[in-house]
Amino acid sequence: MNFCNQEGKSAVVEQEHLEAQRLAELACEGCKDSTHELVERFTPLLRGKCRQYFGVVDEDLLQDGIVKLLELIRDFEPQRGANFCGYAKYMISTFYWNLKRKRILEESRRAEADVSDEHSERSGACDYEIAGVETRMALETLPEAQRDVIELIYMQGLSTDETAKRLGISYSYASKLSRRALRQLRDGPLSRDEWRGS
């Protein structure tokens, strides 16, 4: 059985959580077999998070997740009374989400650098370059969630449905974020209260 990956069978899930807790406690005491068993049982969760956030199970992403899981096992403090399975699921999800955001940011910076390089190489296309910089500056005024949606839909060419899946949000929420972002870009920056309420 793998941990934290079954739904609807509360007795089975509770038993798996108790087993995860027991293995985590043993691993904290230095039991390598328990650590190995936890990694094996959490691997399906790691694969699922790779698919959820990146659309693919890449070996590098999986290895990064395993390293993170080993850190979580090492840093887990059972005496605090925390549920290891819940703790690990949350921290792994957060890890992959942050990794995804970091990659998007790096891609964005590379794109900006490419635009800057092209600008220095081409003298006649200055208006195009300025428009790109202005677009990037306008996007920076958006709240992060709106900016992520706009970049995926309009800059990477994904559909709203694909964007929602990649960000792990519902289609309707992705659509709502897109509408809000486009309205804000059209009308100018709004206060936090204004964009929350619209």
- Cα 21 to Cα 38: distance, rounded to the nearest angstrom: 10
CATH architecture label of 101-197: Orthogonal Bundle (1.10)
Predicted TM-score (pTM) of this structure: 0.52
Cβ contacts of 86 within 8 Å, gap of 6 or more:
17
pLDDT value of residue 28: 86
Cβ contacts of 17 within 8 Å, gap of 6 or more:
3, 4, 83, 84, 85, 86
| Contact yes or no for 181/147 (Cβ under 8 A) | yes
Cβ contacts of 183 within 8 Å, gap of 6 or more:
198
- Cα 104 to Cα 91: distance, rounded to the nearest angstrom: 20
- Cα 69 to Cα 42: distance, rounded to the nearest angstrom: 8
The CATH 1.10.1740 domain(s) of the chain lie at 10-97
The CATH 1.10.10.10 domain(s) of the chain lie at 101-197
Looking at 1.10.40, 1.10.15, 3.30.70, 1.10.1740, the CATH number of the domain 10-97 comes to 1.10.1740
Question: 187: which 2 tokens?
Answer: 């009308």
CA 126 to mean position of chain CA atoms? 35
Residue 148's nearest CA partner among 53, 50, 49 is 53
Give pLDDT tens digits along the chain (198 positions): 454 544 456 788 788 888 989 999 999 888 999 999 999 999 999 999 999 988 898 899 999 999 999 999 998 888 888 889 888 999 999 999 888 888 888 887 777 766 555 544 444 444 444 445 566 777 788 889 988 988 888 778 888 889 999 999 998 999 899 888 888 877 765 444 444 444
